[in-house]
Structure formats: structure tokens, C-alpha cells
Amino acid sequence: METAIISGKGGTGKSSVAAAFAALAEEVVVADCDVDAANLYILFHPENIEHRSFTGSREAVIDDTICDGCGLCVDYCRFDALSMAAGHAIVLGVFCDGCGLCARVCPQHAIEMEENCESTLCSGNFRYGQLVYGRLAPGEENSGKLVSMVREKARQHARDRRMNNIIIDGPPGIGCPVIASITGVDQVVIVTEPSKSGMLDLKRIWSLCKSLRLPAYVLINKYDLHIAQSKEIEAFCKANGIRLAGRISFDPIIVDAMVHCKTVTEWVPGSGIVSEIKTAYRKIFQETL
Amino acid sequence: MKIAVASGKGGTGKTFVATNLFYALQNEGLVPTLLDCDAEAPNAGIFFNGKKKHTLEVVLKVPEIDTKRCTYCGKCHEYCNYNAVFIIPPVKVIRILEELCHGCGACLYACNEKAINEKEICLGKVSRFDLSLGASMIVTQICVGVYSPVKVIQAGVRETNDDPLVIMDSPPGTSCPFIQTVVRADYVLLVTEPTPFGLSDLKHSITILKGLDKSCGVIINRSGMGDRAIYDFLQQQKIPLLMEIPFDKSIAAAYAKGDLVAMQNKAWCEKLFSMFNLIVANGNSHH
């Protein structure tokens, strides 16, 4: 079973919740799909790490000795990644999308597409099972592809080690890496917080889940920071038939746990906040639908 | 001058800093523009009421196949670097997977049969709002289901071309959406929190900003929580720590309601404005 923990808005406590769920599951494959800012390895210290590099995109490189400055590539480029300088075409790397059209149109064959960025897919075992995570090369765009690779690797581990549970820590937002993280999962847990921003982002991520027909839970973190706003979230869930997985109180101990590289369930096992997390866990993972 | 407010990790307080800084600048009689580049989750609009001046649609040109002309030669499929052309020649099936298309036009160039036309699909929108005292707010937003916010962000940045002083609220992360925002900025303000997650993401952001040759400074939000590792890192790297925002439940509660602390408390305005002056001075000494 694949469960994706997502949030729309960043900083709602998604990774802390995902880590706590992994600890409660005990035997689990965790896929950290926030490939832009993968963080769970900090808490889980994976061992026997296996690295695999992959090339996500390509960039145009112009050979100045061949380029005769006709400017055709500049006309064809739709990403404004090419311009003319001192009689030659030059590439503005950050804007190049890697489509390769410039290389196709160049009459002098002066343009090559070079594989420039190296992202890595990492996987290692940790105290509750296996952690798979991606490290996107700086500025790389193809994060959806890396997310898909992380998920595939996680599924492979789950099969090999006969583990049923895959927990996905998803990225913030609603774009490509999020879509790649949740497409086809069995259930989605949206971790939100009681603020106007949290509410807006919840609505957006919910409409994405709906369009992908994914069963979703909402978990309200930092519940008591603004009770009225929390009630509004609950009303929204009720009106839209979204199941409420639970409420977690605001507690700086969550940050404390992180600083000590522990999940909150390990750091303060008997605390009120952990019992709130356990209640949510049972609802999401053990309640029959 | 364009100042981007960014962070690797989400939820560190980017929007909090951007909106309050924007308010503080207005309070000092400047006429700034707030550009919300977080097109996947634009929230700056919560904090300001303005009158919508105009909205522009951001579109992508995607191919349409004229099956009467198509000979199923497969050249468009070969030219497409995004696997957006699905083709099975023997059974004469060809489809464009619009969600994978980047609108580069390579297929159009590839086709010798004039079997490809282009149509426009909507990716999102950019709206400009007039606020009081001449200030403006520009909000970028992608349509749900659109894969990449990059084109919408670029359109938002273009919209500010003639605005003299722009505060950009960047999307989180360190991939393309972040780069497309900061690449147009004169200075990048990184908001982080003193935790291992915050530090890990900050290091990533700084590596990228160095690669882009951007000046940057750091704001530590929720100081007093977490640990000291981030302070040591900043000192080692000689990166200016511009401001600390102590953790305070009342700040969080005001933000949750959609209130600006700078509006409620003058001391915040002064603090933010003196930081702005520091950035301007720093920018001048670097370039």
C-alpha cells in the first residue's frame, strides 16, 4: 500500500509526520519524494547507501569555431535561451529547456546537446526498513522523472523485502513533482495548518487529488495555533467529504526532536502529541475503508 | 531593484517576510511592487486588498495533428525530447500528450507534410492589483494540473519590467521555479529556520546562488527554537545574517489570520526598513 503525505503549503510539518508514521509502522519503505529538498535522511541516517546517477536534462553548447552567426537558432528558440554576441550565438544556460531544436536547425551543425546535470537516486537501510531518496542536481528541472524513479525503487524494495507499507514524503506545491508523487497511490494524507495560507493551499491540493481520483485524509497540524481557522478547515473537509485523520497540537518539542535527529515518537514517546499522532496513524493505516 | 525572498525549505516564513517588508517600504514612502512568484501556492493576496488592474493569460502553444495530412512517418516523435508525441505507425495512431509538451516547436519544424498546427492552452495567469499609495501587487497562479510553473513565473517577472522596486516572493525549493525567480533578482534574501532541515536546504540554496553569482543574506526565522549549527555555518561562509525573528506564538497567530505584524507594530517597520537599507548598501558595495 502506498500512502503519500503531502501538503500544498510548505512547512506544515509534513516530513515530521511522515517520519513519525514510519516509526509507528516499524517495517516500512520510505520514499522521500521531496527531491528538491530531501530531508528524511537527516533523521534516519541510512546505511549501506547505494547511489545511482541519472541525467535529467540536456543543454545546448555552441562551438564558436563553427558558428557563423546566422542567427537561425535564436529565431527558433522559444525559451529565449539564445542570443547573438560578437557575431556568434551564445546560450544562456539557465533558460535552456533542452529541447534540441537549435541543434536541429543549425545549418553549420555547430550546436551539440550536452548532458549537463547529474542527479542522484540514493537508497539505504535504516532502523525501520528502507529509505529511498533523490537528490536533484541544482537547477535541474526534470524532478518529476526523479520522483518516479524514487517511487519505482521503493516499490522494488517493498517487493524484495516483502513489506506492504510504502510511505511517500511528497514535495510542496501542486506541480509536476507533486503530481508524480501522488499519481496512482492508494491514499493521500494532506497535512495542513490553521492559517489562511494553509486553507488556500489545501483547497488547491484537494482539487488536484480530486482530479486524480485519490482518496484523501486531512490532518490538521498545529491545530491550536488558531482554533477558528482549524474549525474552518474541518468544515471544508466535511462539506467536501474528506476524512479528517486527526488534529495535532502545536508543540515546539517537534522541533526539538528534529534537532536531535529523532522522530517525535522516539523523542517523547509518552507525550500528548505522540498520542495524537498515533490516533491519526491508526485511522489512516488500520481503519478498514 | 529586485529583491527575491526565497528559501529551500517550504514554510520557513518567506511570505511573512515578503509581505511585511513590502508593507514597511510603503510605510517609508517608497512605491514598491510585490510579485508573488509562488505560482503553485500564491498566498500574498491574503494580506492586501487591491483593485484588479488587469489579468493576462499565460498560454503554451501545443501541436495539433491534422490526421488527413499525417503520413505517420514518426519524425515529430523523433524530434520531441519530452516524449509528448505518442505514435504507432502500423495502425495509424498518433496522439499529442499535452501535459508532457513544453511547446518548443520541434515537431512543427520536423513535419514535412504540414500536418501539424498549433493551438494555445492555458497554463495560468498573471494579475496586477493596484494598492493604496501607488504600490502594486502581482500574483502568478498556475491552473491545477499544469506541470511546470516556469512560464507563468517568467510572465510575472516580465510584468514587473518597468517597476522600480520589486519584492519577489519566491517558490520553495531549489529547482527551476526557484531559479527562474532569483535569476532576475539583484539580491536574494534567504529565509530559514535553525533546524537540521533548514540548514540542509539553506546550503543547497546558497550553492546555487553562488553559481548564479547572486548576492544573498539570511534571515533566521523562529530563532530560539532548534540549534546553533546554522549560525556557525553562516559565520564560516561569511554570509550576512540580516535579521532574526524570534519564535512567538502571537506572530504565528497574526499571520494565520492574515494580519501583518508590521502594520500592528511600528518597531517591525523600522527593523525591516533598516534591513532594506543594509541590503541596498551591500548591493552597491558588491557591484
- Under the banding of pLDDT at 50, 70 and 90, the label for residue A245 is very high
Q: What is the DSSP string of B229-241?
A: HHHHHHHHHT--E
From CA A78, how far away is CA B44, in angstroms rounded? Answer: 30
Domain boundary residue among A87, A115, A143?
A115
Helix, coil or strand: residue A61:
strand
Q: Of A147, A230, A224, A232, which is closest to residue A184 (Cα–Cα)?
A: A147
Domain boundary residue among A97, A115, A133?
A115
Q: If you count DSSP H runs as helices and E runs as strands, how many of each does chain A have, helices first?
A: 11, 13
Helix H or strand E segment including A92? none
Helix H or strand E segment including A3? strand A2-6
pLDDT in tens, B35-44: 999 999 999 9
- Under the banding of pLDDT at 50, 70 and 90, the label for residue B16 is very high
Are the beta carbons of B219 and B188 closer than 8 angstroms? no
Q: What is the DSSP string of B33-96?
A: EEEE--TTS--GGGG---EEEEEEEEEEEEEEE-TTT-----HHHHH-TTS-EEEEGGGTEEEE
Three cell numbers written together for B58: 499565460
From CA B49, how far away is CA A194, in angstroms rounded? Answer: 21
Three cell numbers written together for B72: 505517420
Out of A97, A141, A173, closest to residue B40 by CB: A173
Q: Which CATH superfamily is domain B2-48+131-286 in?
A: P-loop containing nucleotide triphosphate hydrolases (3.40.50.300)
Do A10 and B11 lie within an 8 Å CB cutoff? yes
Helix H or strand E segment including A37? none
Domain B60-122 indexed as CATH 3.30.70.20: yes
Percent of chain B beyond pLDDT 70?
A: 98
From CA A127, how far away is CA A199, in angstroms rounded? Answer: 35
Whether residue A239 sits in one domain with residue A139: yes
Whether residue A180 sits in one domain with residue A241: yes
Whether residue A181 sits in one domain with residue A105: no
The predicted structure's pLDDT at residue A143 = 82
Exposed (0-12), middle (13-18) or buried (19+): which is B91, by Cβ within 10 Å? exposed
Residues of A in contact with B48 (CB under 8 A): none
Helix H or strand E segment including B119? strand B116-130
Q: Mind telling me how many Å the CA of B29 is from chain A's nearest CA?
A: 28
Whether residue A242 sits in one domain with residue A127: yes
Q: Please give the average per-residue pLDDT across B144-159, as a whole number.
A: 93
Q: What is the DSSP string of A62-122?
A: E-TTT-----HHHHH-SSS-EEEETTEEEE-GGG-----HHHHH-TT--EEEEE--EEEEE
Out of B12, B79, B144, closest to residue A208 by CB: B144
State how beta strands A187-192 and A216-220 pair.
Answer: parallel
What CATH number does residue A261 fall under?
3.40.50.300
Neighbours of B266 (CB within 10 A): 11
The predicted structure's pLDDT at residue B247 = 87
Please name every residue paired with B60 in a beta bridge, in sequence order, or none if there are none. B121
Please check whether residue A140 touches B, CB under 8 A.
Answer: yes
The runs of H, that is alpha helices, within A26-100 are: 40-44, 72-76
Three cell numbers written together for A64: 564558436
Please check whether residue A131 touches B, CB under 8 A.
Answer: no
Whether residue A124 sits in one domain with residue A39: yes
Q: Half-sphere exposure of B147 toward its Cβ, with a 13 Å CA cutoff? A: 19
Query: To the nearest whole number, what is the mean pLDDT of chain A?
Result: 93
Are the beta carbons of A189 and A217 closer than 8 angstroms? yes
Q: Which of A8-12, A224-228, B14-18 has the lowest mean pLDDT?
A: A8-12
Region for residue A139 given its phi and psi (left: phi exceeds 0; alpha: psi -120 to 50; beta: otherwise): left
In angstroms, how far is CA B227 from the centroid of its own chain? 29
Are the beta carbons of A30 and A167 closer than 8 angstroms? yes
**What is the identity of the amino acid at B183?**
V
Residues of B in contact with A8 (CB under 8 A): 41
Residue B49's φ and ψ, nearest 5 degrees, are -105, 125
Whether residue A20 sits in one domain with residue A144: yes
Whether residue A190 sits in one domain with residue A110: no
- From the candidates B180, B197, B261, which should be mutated to test the interface with A, based on the most A CB atoms within 10 A? B197
Q: Which DSSP letter does residue A287 get?
A: S
Q: First vs last Cα of chain A: how many Å apart?
A: 13
Q: Of A9, A17, A16, which is closest to residue A189 (Cα–Cα)?
A: A17
pLDDT in tens, A91-113: 998 899 999 999 999 999 999 99
Whether residue A267 sits in one domain with residue A155: yes
Residues 32-91 of A with CB under 8 A from B: 36-37, 39, 42-43, 58, 76, 78-79
Query: To the nearest whole number, what is the mean pLDDT of chain B?
Result: 94
Helix H or strand E segment including B261? helix B261-264
- Under the banding of pLDDT at 50, 70 and 90, the label for residue A90 is very high
Do B173 and A94 lie within an 8 Å CB cutoff? no
Closest-CA residue of chain B to A139:
B175
Are the beta carbons of A161 and A168 closer than 8 angstroms? no
Whether residue A262 sits in one domain with residue A143: yes
From CA B99, how far away is CA A175, in angstroms rounded? Answer: 11
Do A144 and B147 lie within an 8 Å CB cutoff? yes
Whether residue A110 sits in one domain with residue A160: no
From CA B224, how far away is CA A134, in angstroms rounded? Answer: 31
**What is the identity of the amino acid at A59?**
E
Q: Please give the average per-residue pLDDT across B107-112, as a whole number.
A: 98
Whether B285 has a pLDDT exceeding 90, the answer reads no
Domain boundary residue among A68, A84, A115?
A115
CB pairs under 8 A between A and B: 185
What CATH number does residue A100 fall under?
3.30.70.20
Q: What ranges do the domains of chain B cover?
A: 2-48+131-286, 60-122
The predicted structure's pLDDT at residue A288 = 55
| Radius of gyration of chain B, Cα coordinates, nearest whole angstrom | 22
What is the residue range of A96's domain? 58-115
The predicted structure's pLDDT at residue B229 = 95
Q: Please give the average per-residue pLDDT across A165-184, as a whole number.
A: 94
Do A196 and B208 lie within an 8 Å CB cutoff? no
Neighbours of B150 (CB within 10 A): 25
Do A12 and B11 lie within an 8 Å CB cutoff? yes
**What is the identity of the amino acid at A13?**
G
Q: Half-sphere exposure of A188 toward its Cβ, with a 13 Å CA cutoff? A: 28
**How many residues would you count in chain B?**
287
Whether residue A158 sits in one domain with residue A20: yes
Whether A63 has a pLDDT exceeding 60, the answer reads yes
The runs of H, that is alpha helices, within chain A are: 14-25, 40-44, 72-76, 101-105, 143-160, 176-182, 196-211, 227-240, 253-259, 264-267, 272-281
**What is the identity of the amino acid at B187?**
Y
Whether B282 has a pLDDT exceeding 80, the answer reads no
Do A211 and B144 lie within an 8 Å CB cutoff? yes
What's the total number of domains in chain A? 2
The predicted structure's pLDDT at residue A166 = 98
From CA B279, how far away is CA B186, in angstroms rounded? Answer: 10
Please name every residue paired with B210 in a beta bridge, in sequence order, or none if there are none. none
Whether residue A69 sits in one domain with residue A178: no
Question: Residues A235-241: contacts with CB within 8 Å, 24+ apart?
Answer: A236/A199, A236/A202, A236/A203, A240/A206
- Under the banding of pLDDT at 50, 70 and 90, the label for residue A119 is confident
